[in-house]
Amino acid sequence: MLAQNVAAVVCRNETWQGRAATEPYECGWAKEAIVFVRALKPPAVPSSVTARVQISADGMHWADEGTRLTFPDNTDAVAFARVAHFGGWLRLAADLPAGAEITLLVTLHLKE
Amino acid sequence: MTSMDAETLRRALRDANPALSRFDPLSRIVFCDDFDRGFCGWTQLVGNYEGSLDSMLPAYAQHSHPMLSTLPNWDSGSHNGLDGGYALRVQTRPRRGARNTAIKRLTFRKAGPIRLEFYFTFKPEASELLLSETDVRSVGFLYDLQSGDSDAGGERVMPHLRFLNALDGEHVQRWQFKQALQPSRALGNSGKTATHDHLSPEGWENLPGGEQRLCYNEIATKVNWHYACFDFDLSRWQATSFRINDRVFDMSGFAPMRMPAWRNLWCMLNIVFFVETDTDKRASLAIDGVCLSGEF
């Protein structure tokens, strides 16, 4: 049987301002993930602001995994981060400064 | 050696297979999904749109992807599936009234009797050290069906059933159905795309005799699997039987939503599972094992 290989859209057309995160996604069956991020509308995020990959034992309490990605600066750009050895739960989180916002499409591409 | 008719042989083969013998399928199995094999075609129900995702109804915009879950708990670790490690998990956002869904899309080849069987359980997110038995509003399922393109008087027919566990904190615990149509509206300017929120909170009716106390267990992180079996006749658009565990419900008072056929949905046979939360806490529906069978 071929290995599982799944694209999970975990954030679609949601506008992030301030403290924000994708909904918890349980994917402990996967050994690796790429977090793809697109801006669906022209973003207004300083280039110094990054999003953080977070992991969790229970889908409720979160820790930074260490991987960060810079948000795309236009609607044609694709940002991504590679993650492996992440346990059971993944999410993407960020703290945007006052006045910053971005409308996101976030896809987890997962492989076992 | 004695002769054996086809039905007896079929039954014997099924009973010898633990993965199948937990079901009671009709003569032909269309699919029998075990989530240790992956998602098996269950995906998120994205709302319709045209031109911009902003045209999607908010009720659909909240939907997200189902998960392959070991039902992990902060206090006791993975609960795991009914059979094997994984179950399909649908989880809402942490907002009172939020819902989420999982859908599998196919078409039918004969308008006759079909049977949907599955094992399910539900829980709120265990974010408090409380029983939390009224935090999940409802769990349920529906078919989205449409006549064949050559049928006279084509219809789109949507039988809905939900277990209303709680509403506004009251522990209701009864099965409901919905036949009330929700208004549809066109999307964009092409005249080709439309939408309707058929799962909206309005219009649910009590299934006569549909009160049922399910096994919830004694803390928020213990789950028990329940068996469901729903029979529907595509030739008459009628529910013929509905069973949950040891209870068989009278479906004479049940009616599906019925509306004129939509333009691109001929022979559609979609199955949707859904869950709603009654508090600002995520609610989960887990499914392990789904079997669709038919008489054809």
pLDDT for B208-253, tens place per residue?
Answer: 999 999 999 999 999 999 999 999 999 999 999 999 999 999 999 9
Position B146 pLDDT exceeds 60: yes
Measured between beta carbons, the chain B residues lying within 8 angstroms of A8 are 65, 67
Q: Is the dihedral of CA B91, B272, B294, B163 positive or negative?
A: positive
Position A86 pLDDT exceeds 60: yes
- For tokens 């036949």, what's the residue? B179
Domain boundaries, chain B: 27-294
Q: H/E/C letters for each residue in chain B? A: CCCCCHHHHHHHHHHCCHHHHCCCCCCEEEEEECHHHCCCCCECCCCCCECEHHHCCHHHHCCCCCEEECCEECCCEECCCCCCCCEEEEECCCCCCCEEEEEEEEECCCCCEEEEEEEEEEEECCCCCCCCCCCEEEEEEEEEEECCCCCCCCEEEECEEEEEEEECCEEEEEEEEECCCCCCEEECCCCCEEECCCCCCCCEEEEEEEECCCCCCCCCCCCCCEEEEEEEECCCCEEEEEEECCEEECCCCCCCEEEECCCCCCCEEEEEEEEEECCCCCEEEEEEEEEEEECC
User: Which chain B residue has its CA at the smallest distance from A56's CA?
Assistant: B74
Topology classification of domain A5-111: Jelly Rolls (2.60.120)
Q: Please tell me which of the candidates A1, A6, A26 has its beta carbon nearest to residue B69.
A: A26
Measured between beta carbons, the chain B residues lying within 8 angstroms of A109 are none
Measured between beta carbons, the chain B residues lying within 8 angstroms of A24 are 91, 282
Span B1-27, mean pLDDT? 87
Tell me what the pLDDT averaged over chain A comes to.
Answer: 97
How far off is chain A from B140, nearest CA to CA, in Å?
22
Position B6 pLDDT exceeds 90: no
* Residue-level pLDDT at B3: 73
Cα–Cα dist B212/B210, whole Å: 6
Q: Please tell me which of the candidates A25, A40, A60 has its beta carbon nearest to residue B67.
A: A25
How large is the ipTM?
A: 0.96
B146 touching A, CB under 8 A?
A: no
Cα–Cα dist B148/B265, whole Å: 9
**Strand bridging mode A50-56 / B185-187:** unpaired
pLDDT in tens, A8-64: 999 999 999 999 999 999 999 999 999 999 999 999 999 999 999 999 999 999 999
* Residue-level pLDDT at B117: 98
- Record: contact B72-A57, CB cut-off 8 A: yes
- Whether domain B27-294 has CATH 3.40.50.1100: the reply is no
pLDDT in tens, B244-261: 999 999 999 999 999 999
A68 touching B, CB under 8 A?
A: no
